[in-house]
């Protein structure tokens, strides 16, 4: 929603389709034209942006008979901002090229909802060539402020799943460090300030800080709501592990992190921001 709203603020005429009636109502209230189907959303447009969660939905949205690739005109720029394995978007890219459609995988990062609202997203773009990248950037600039051409289609996703693997591990390490320091008697705010400017610095010691109250804009400070769900992080780690197995890479630490998030999810906190691992560690911490 923040991405679509920022497109309207940057003078794009935006229409959108969503399964949620409430989302469509909110979209209309923010200057976005709600439509009833992918086909309708993709008719007579210059750009299409998709952002979905599951492999099946991403493939269906693009490849079904009334999907994106069947509904747009040749030379339309289609950008998928989902997170999936490189193999999935390369399959979509092959179909798009056959139809003369410009397709780029354009996953995003930079700070989640916080960055999306501020138009400060980072886009990691897989594009056939520099010309396709520049065409996609025209639209992406309505939602973000940093853009990287990572190579051919699929490479954007390769960067994104590598990014989320790193972030997932950082969160667990940062949460353990925060709990340990506090239990040893360190003021948690002082600890965070030191970690932010030391060699342990990472976003989980800043805008993603998992301890409630440490960082006012973090999901932790709003009961771990409206952040990046634990279940989504678990899903993204699964994608990274799948890709690693495909190429024969060793990601043992990522597998342990996946198991940890799986425990948090099984305990009933899958809808909470992934920083909820702090509470999970705090509950069982003994010193």
Is 282 strand, coil or helix?
helix
Q: How far apart are CA 85 and CA 236, in angstroms?
A: 9
What is the sign of the dihedral through the CA atoms of 235, 117, 162 and 60?
Answer: positive
Specify whether 54 is catalytic: no
Length in residues, the chain: 287
Token pair in block for residue 241: 């592990």
Is 93 strand, coil or helix?
helix
The residue from 137, 160, 229, 234 that is catalytic is: 160
DSSP 176-237: HHHHHHHHTT--HHHHHHHHHTSTT--GGGTTT--STTTSTTSGGGGTT-SS-BHHHHHHHH
Q: Which residues contact 43 (CB under 8 A, 6 or more apart)?
A: 71, 72
Q: Which residues are catalytic?
A: 160
């Amino acid at each position: 929603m923040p991405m679509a709203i920022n497109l309207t603020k940057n003078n794009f005429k935006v229409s959108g389709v969503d399964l949620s009636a409430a989302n469509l109502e909110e979209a209309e209230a923010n200057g976005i034209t709600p439509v009833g189907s992918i086909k309708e959303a993709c008719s007579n447009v210059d750009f299409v942006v998709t952002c979905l969660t599951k492999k099946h939905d991403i493939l269906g949205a693009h490849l079904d008979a009334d999907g994106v690739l069947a509904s747009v005109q040749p030379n339309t720029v289609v950008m998928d901002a989902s997170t999936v394995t490189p193999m999935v978007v390369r399959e979509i890219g092959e179909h798009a090229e056959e139809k003369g459609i410009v397709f780029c995988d354009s996953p995003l990062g930079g700070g989640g909802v916080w960055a999306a609202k501020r138009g400060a997203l980072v886009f990691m773009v897989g594009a056939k060539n520099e010309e396709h990248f520049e065409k996609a950037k025209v639209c992406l600039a309505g939602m973000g402020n940093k853009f990287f051409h990572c190579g051919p289609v699929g490479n954007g996703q390769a960067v994104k799943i590598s990014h989320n693997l790193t972030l997932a591990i950082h969160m667990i390490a940062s949460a353990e460090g925060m709990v340990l320091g506090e239990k040893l008697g360190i003021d948690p705010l002082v600890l965070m300030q030191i970690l932010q400017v030391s060699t342990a610095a990472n976003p989980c010691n800043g805008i993603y800080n998992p301890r409630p109250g440490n960082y006012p804009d973090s999901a932790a400070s709003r009961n771990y709501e409206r952040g990046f769900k634990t279940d989504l992080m678990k899903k993204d780690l699964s994608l990274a592990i799948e890709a690693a197995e495909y190429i024969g890479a060793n990601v043992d630490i990522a597998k342990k992190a996946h198991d940890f998030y799986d425990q948090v999810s099984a305990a009933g906190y899958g809808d909470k921001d992934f920083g909820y691992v702090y509470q999970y560690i705090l509950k069982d911490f003994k010193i």
